[in-house]
Amino acid sequence: MSVRTHPGITGVYGSAATGLSGDTSWAANATVARIGADGERRTETVLNQHADRIAVLHDLRVPIRGGRANIDHVLVAGNRVYLLDSKVWKPGFYWTLAGVNRRGTTRVDHTAKDMTWVRDAFVKHLAGTGATVIGPRLVIWSSSTRANPTLWALRLNGASRLAGTALPSAAARIAGTAGRTGADPAIVHRLSTLLVRPTPVPLPVAAGAEHLSTRPLARPTARTGPGLRAVPTTVDPLEDDPFA
């Protein structure tokens, strides 16, 4: 039996759309919920192809006390953590003017939610691990098979955008940045406590990792204090971003 010798770990942890199963309260109706779940699974299929080089986690709670929000996907390459959220939007030209987002002439206020707090929450949760948190980035799939959303003129609050059609090449670049190092075990272990569907994380015994357990994790709990405060960081969330 061969033993992997590189210091990091790889693999898939969790599964997409777990948080949507049986709970459609976030959606306008069951059809919208089904379409949203389909977008998550499309992203999952692309990302899982690179799980032999990086750690791929699906459906994690955003670590805020009393919150029910989730982030759909997280990639870990070395000490870099990429936050991704899947969306399915109608085709059309999306643009921003004076802080208002539109598709054509129609206001699309659902695209204007501020996601700065999501990154802040993960930075705080990963404090002490040496993680660099990048994102969130919205992976936007089309609801139609005949046309795609046009996104270049759209501005998002606290997030950036990526067309679903560009995800395969972007994910390959992420995997390439990891080289043979995989993902930092301490970071993956910390993130795994947020999985909606807990998954065992096999950690190699290496310097600094002996204290980490390989047993299945208990149900995740929030680790933040009362209220969420912005966490200062010296890292630009889009600096050297392979998704850019």
At 179, is the pLDDT very low, low, confident or very high (cuts 50, 70, 90)? confident
Q: Residue 241: pLDDT band by 50, 70, 90 thresholds?
A: low
Predicted confidence band at 212 (pLDDT cuts at 50, 70, 90)? Answer: very low
Mean pLDDT to the nearest integer, 135-147? 96
Q: Is 229's pLDDT higher than 70?
A: no
DSSP H/E element including 12: strand 11-13
Which of 55-64, 130-139, 177-186, 216-225 is predicted least confidently?
Answer: 216-225
| 51, amino acid identity | A
CB 94 within 8 A of CB 147: no
Q: What is the DSSP string of 183-203?
A: B-HHHHHHHHTTBSS------
Q: Is the pLDDT of residue 106 over 50?
A: yes
pLDDT score for 95: 97
Q: What is the pLDDT of residue 193?
A: 94
Q: What is the pTM of this model?
A: 0.80
| pLDDT for residue 36 | 86
- The confidence score (pLDDT) of residue 6 equals 47
Name the residue with tokens 């777990």.
18
Compute the distance between CA of residue 77 and CA of residue 56 in angstroms, rounded to an integer: 9
> What pLDDT, on the 0 to 100 scale, is given for residue 220?
37
User: Residue 28: its pLDDT value, please?
Assistant: 56
Backbone dihedral region for residue 182 (phi beyond 0: left; psi -120 to 50: alpha; all else: beta): left
3-state secondary structure of 229: coil
Strand ranges for 29-153 from DSSP E = 55-61, 70-77, 80-89, 92-97, 100-103, 106-107, 132-142, 149-153
Percent of the chain with pLDDT strictly greater than 90: 64
* Separation of alpha carbons 46 and 171, rounded Å: 8
Give the tens place of pLDDT for each residue, 15-57: 998 864 455 554 555 677 788 899 999 999 999 999 999 999 9
Give the chain's mean pLDDT. Answer: 81
Give the chain's length. Answer: 244
Cβ atoms within 10 Å, residue 206: 14
pLDDT bracket for residue 180 (50, 70, 90): confident
Strand order in the sheet with 160-163: 11-13, 55-61, 70-77, 80-89, 132-142, 160-163
Among the listed ranges 6-20, 34-48, 184-198, 203-217, which one has the minimum average pLDDT value?
Answer: 203-217
CATH code for 11-87+113-141+159-192? 3.40.1350
